[in-house]
Structure 1
Amino acid sequence: MHIAVFSQYHTNPDCPATSRHYSLLAQMARQHRVTLITTRTWERQRLTREFAWVPEGVELRAADVAYDNTMGVARRALAFGQYAAYSLREGLRIDRPDVIWGISTPLTAAWAAAQVARLRRVPWVFEVQDLWPAFPIAMEAVPSRLAQRQLYALEKSLYHSARHVLPLSPDMTAYVRGLGVPEGKLTTVLNGTDLDLAARATPEAVAALRRQEGLDGQRVVLYAGTFGRANDIPTLVAAAEQLASRCPEVVWLFMGHGYDEPLVRAAAARCSSIRLVSPQPRHAVFSWFRLAEVSVVSFLGLPVLDANSPAKFYDSLAVGTPVVVTNQGWTKTLVEKHGCGWYSPASDAAALALQLEKVLQAPAQLQAAGQAGREVASRYFDRQQIGTTIQAILEQVAP
């Protein structure tokens, strides 16, 4: 079977980003022909050279389209349009696929996949990584009411034209179901994590990292991910400063980059309990999570963000580090149900600092939550299991 994959952002484990589709494509390419239509956005951001850029057996078609999360709305829209045009052209040039797998975000990538599927008369499967256009509209990136209506109409048409829809969280699935998509067309496939890479975070590796970073005798809180507008970084910085005044033995590591990096850098300069850590390759990030006693996964208090499926949530639990979440959606439900983390209200720095102080004073509770997280990750978050589910769906919808 020939699978054509439309994904604007391809990464591999050498990149400072989740490598979800690298793992899934590697698994599928063992049995099927796979053509990936993507961009070279992340290729220049590789931090190591341990892994091939694409898995063995994957045919690559890549456009040279620049993109980063500091771009303004107009520049981002141009990048989206450039990839959509490229992928539409390449999708009509490649050998006719048996099925197309369109991955959003952005929504324009899924649109291109749908157009190629229509023109080549093949079925397509729509993977929903974020709720578009609800997310950019909530972030006030689409001020025009006419444009909003057009984007919502496009979104709904894509859900209905796809043979199957794969949302990355239960809340996303509920949202899509609410647009009238039949239950039989929906399968929730969590973002998940790479348990083989998580296994690299051995006690020896973590101890070496602790010595290397001068963290012996200190307790670590970790935020790892994008410093984007949606991630509520100002609240985390304020909470870190409040925590420092009450728990001087605690160091809060901010690992990543993005829009609010200058804010974090300034906080680290004035507060010795805050450290800015440069982005790490995917295969190394698990040791940083295991080094921490607790991690924080934060977003603004917008309903659309409650549906998110953040990679750092899965990665932390995979190595036994419990998580404090700040959105009220399915992640809050999961950590409370399984006892592998805690909830703190979004944009409330005082509440977050107090929650962290409380859990850090309860080592037995931290240990129990960490073990519960490992068990949840092993049972539900394994990308090999998730890949088997996705492959079965692609095989089922192919003629």
Structure 2
Amino acid sequence: MRITIVSRIFAPEPGAASLRLKSLVEALGQAGARVDVLTTAPPKTVGAPADISARVSRWPVLRDKSGYVRGYLQYMSFDIPAFFRVLFHTKLDALVVEPPPTTGFFVRLAAALRRAPYIYFAADIWSDAAGSTGAASWIVSGVRTLEKFALSGAAHVIAVSDAVADRVKALAPSAAVTVVGHGVDTRLFTPNGEVPPEPADIVYVGTASEWHGARVGLEAVISVLSANPQATAAFIGQGSEWPELRRIAERSSVASRVRFLSTVPPEEAAMWLRAARASIATLKPGLGYDFAVPTKIYSSLASGTPVAYAGPDPVRTMVSENGLGVATEYNASLLAEQLAQLIDGRREFDSESLRAWTQDNVSATAIAGRAAVAIAECVRHDD
């Protein structure tokens, strides 16, 4: 098989998509495929690319002030060249495309001209996410139209959960969908290994966008730290809510014990997580995005650290029923009460048990293997 992956983000740039695609490249390689990756030149702040068992072609793109390819102008700086890169790329049997839907739109056009099938990797539903941010209705409608176009033209769609698969079928009823699950690199995120020189008791690691609703997590942290003068916290990441979170923390009475750091490489994120006593994850309900799963939860559990989650089901039930930490409704007071029990030792969780759950249920290797099988079957069917 000759598979070409098209994605605006790829290793070594930090992100869930980077880890997911790196695992997919490895799984496809083990299946005997030759893999090419058409992606972006990483930001200057990112270190040298790790060894990848694929031919990686990088293209310079526009990035926002934080260094991310995020925003419609930034997307176009990747998507339009990607159309021509696919069109004139060497011989291929199939394409795999990552969101955003704008990339899927241009890949569908190029794939049609190449007479090649493409597989859409639906890690989430972007039109639902756009609606959750309060974007104008015409923007949401435009994103949904692009997403329907990208999904309906795919020879196959790979979804990360049953809920995402349901939304895919709602947008593209004729789509063939395989659910592979979410994954975390359990080789990278482990309970044992290096830790930061000054670790924090509570960490938030990852994106804080409107639909994450991380403000509730910060308010809970401030409450816990106010009652426990020895405890510390660190928020590590980026996102649209990041500036506001910093302002809230700086105005609080515990400002000196809440650190904010920009996104760090996965290896460094693993250090912060394994050294913490608890991690925070939140999901704001009622925005049409309740089905989402903050993947920061899996990174924490693989590192042996229990999670304190505030948000809707199905994640709340998953955390509670599997003994993965504490979970409440989306409420700062309730979360603070549960988080305090983790920090003061009233609730304890075995790190090896948490890790064992991730290995059994959300191993990136197993999930990438399932995705590789779906891609191979799609190629054989097309032949």
TM bracket, shorter-chain basis: 0.7 to 0.9
State how far apart, in whole Å, the 1-side matches of 2:55 and 2:68 are.
32
Give the letter aligned to residue 286 of structure 1. A
SS in 2 for 1:130: coil
State how far apart, in whole Å, the 2-side matches of 1:220 and 1:4 are.
42
Aligned to 1:160: 152
What do the CA deviations read for 1:317-372 (whole angstroms, capped 9, x no partner)?
A: 112211122231332232123121232222x2222211211343455x4224x444
Aligned to 2:365: 384
State how far apart, in whole Å, the 2-side matches of 1:131 and 1:226 are.
16
Distance 1:72 1:379, change over 3 A: closer
State how far apart, in whole Å, the 1-side matches of 2:150 and 2:264 are.
35
Distance 1:262 1:155, change over 3 A: closer
Give the letter aligned to residue 367 of structure 1. F
For structure 2, the residue ranges without an aligned partner over 5 or more in a row are none
Distance 1:25 1:181, change over 3 A: same
Aligned to 2:206: 225
State how far apart, in whole Å, the 2-side matches of 1:153 and 1:265 are.
35
State how far apart, in whole Å, the 2-side matches of 1:302 and 1:63 are.
38
1:66 aligns with 2:48: no
Give the letter aligned to residue 52 of structure 2. P
Contact 1:6 1:110 survives alignment (8 Å): no
Contact 2:132 2:289 survives alignment (8 Å): no
Report the CA distance between 1:70 and its aligned residue.
Answer: 6.0
What do the CA deviations read for 1:37-56 (whole angstroms, capped 9, x no partner)?
A: 1222x34231x44x53x613
1:327 aligns with 2:327: no
Aligned to 1:205: 194
SS in 1 for 2:98: strand
Alignment TM-score, normalising by the size of structure 1: 0.84
Out of 329, 333, 341, the residue aligned to residue 358 of structure 1 is: 341
Matches within 5 A, 1:313-352: 313-346=297-330, 348-352=331-335
Give the letter aligned to residue 173 of structure 2. V
For structure 1, the residue ranges without an aligned partner over 5 or more in a row are none
Report the CA distance between 1:98 and its aligned residue.
Answer: 0.6
State how far apart, in whole Å, the 2-side matches of 1:221 and 1:182 are.
45
Report the CA distance between 1:265 and its aligned residue.
Answer: 4.0
Report the CA distance between 1:125 and its aligned residue.
Answer: 1.0
Contact 1:326 1:345 survives alignment (8 Å): yes
Distance 1:150 1:197, change over 3 A: closer
SS in 2 for 1:165: strand
Aligned to 2:178: 187
Distance 1:263 1:160, change over 3 A: closer
Over the residues paired in the alignment, what is the CA RMSD in angstroms?
A: 2.7
State how far apart, in whole Å, the 2-side matches of 1:268 and 1:24 are.
41
Report the CA distance between 1:3 and its aligned residue.
Answer: 0.5
> Which structure: greater helix fraction?
1
The answer to which of 187-196 and 89-98 deviates more is 187-196
Aligned to 2:52: 55
State how far apart, in whole Å, the 2-side matches of 1:240 and 1:77 are.
34
1:296 aligns with 2:280: yes
Equivalent residues, number: 374
Contact 2:158 2:177 survives alignment (8 Å): yes
Give the letter aligned to residue 17 of structure 1. G
What do the CA deviations read for 1:51-82 (whole angstroms, capped 9, x no partner)?
A: 53x613x2223221122376999x81112222
Aligned to 2:38: 37
Contact 1:268 1:276 survives alignment (8 Å): no
Report the CA distance between 1:241 and its aligned residue.
Answer: 1.8
State how far apart, in whole Å, the 1-side matches of 2:65 and 2:132 are.
17
Report the CA distance between 1:103 and its aligned residue.
Answer: 0.9
Report the CA distance between 1:264 and its aligned residue.
Answer: 4.3
Report the CA distance between 1:35 and its aligned residue.
Answer: 1.6
Alignment TM-score, normalising by the size of structure 2: 0.88
Give the letter aligned to residue 93 of structure 1. F
Matches within 5 A, 1:20-31: 20-30=20-30, 31=32
Give the letter aligned to residue 181 of structure 1. P
State how far apart, in whole Å, the 2-side matches of 1:180 and 1:20 are.
24
Report the CA distance between 1:373 and its aligned residue.
Answer: 2.4
Aligned to 1:5: 5
